[in-house]
Amino acid sequence: MTRNRAGSAALRRNRGFTLVEAMVALIVLSVGLLGIAALYVETLRANRTSLYRTQAVNMATDIGDRMRSNRNPAAAYACGSPCDPAAGGNAIAIADLTDWMNQIAAQLPGGTADVAYTAPTATTPAVYVVGVSWDELGQDDPVTYQLRIEI
């Protein structure tokens, strides 16, 4: 009989301890879930950034391909900063620049572009520098991608 009393006294003392353990486990689980949620949000931000960068690269190479296919006059695609499609050197360049600028405005937030031209010399080829800029969340200045195209 003495044994049963000692056993039930020990049970009574441990009864509240399991509730504290459950609360600590719940707090630890909550902190872990908050960490997972923060990681998920950061992953979404990084995916959006990489999508914008990929689109900028694709658009810069697209205008580069158009420049290579329409080389006359030499500075046909020099549209300035920011790009004014009407400054194109011929009807094809104007149409290409207009279409390109519309794509940039549609696909990139706050998207703008510029194209600078450097005439060839005796030792260097003609060079276009294509710049594509867009607004990125969390950054004060626009992000810019530049592509140098030698023709």
Higher pLDDT, 12 or 76: 76
* pLDDT tens digits along 81-131: 889 999 888 999 999 999 999 999 999 999 999 999 999 999 999 999 999
> Residue 77: its pLDDT value, please?
94
**Residue 5 pLDDT class (50, 70, 90 cuts):** low
Which amino acid is residue 3, in one-letter code?
Answer: R
The answer, yes or no, to whether residue 140 has pLDDT greater than 80, is: yes
> Residue 101: its pLDDT value, please?
96
Longest dimension (CA), the chain: 110
Task: Tell me the pTM.
Answer: 0.76
> Residue 72: its pLDDT value, please?
85
Residue 127: phi and psi, rounded to 5, are -130, 130
Domain with 138, as residue range(s), is: 2-150
DSSP track, 51-69:
HHHHHHHHHHHHHHHHHHH
**Residue 71 pLDDT class (50, 70, 90 cuts):** confident
**Residue carrying structure tokens 């909550």:** 30
> Residue 27: its pLDDT value, please?
96
Q: How many domains does the chain have?
A: 1
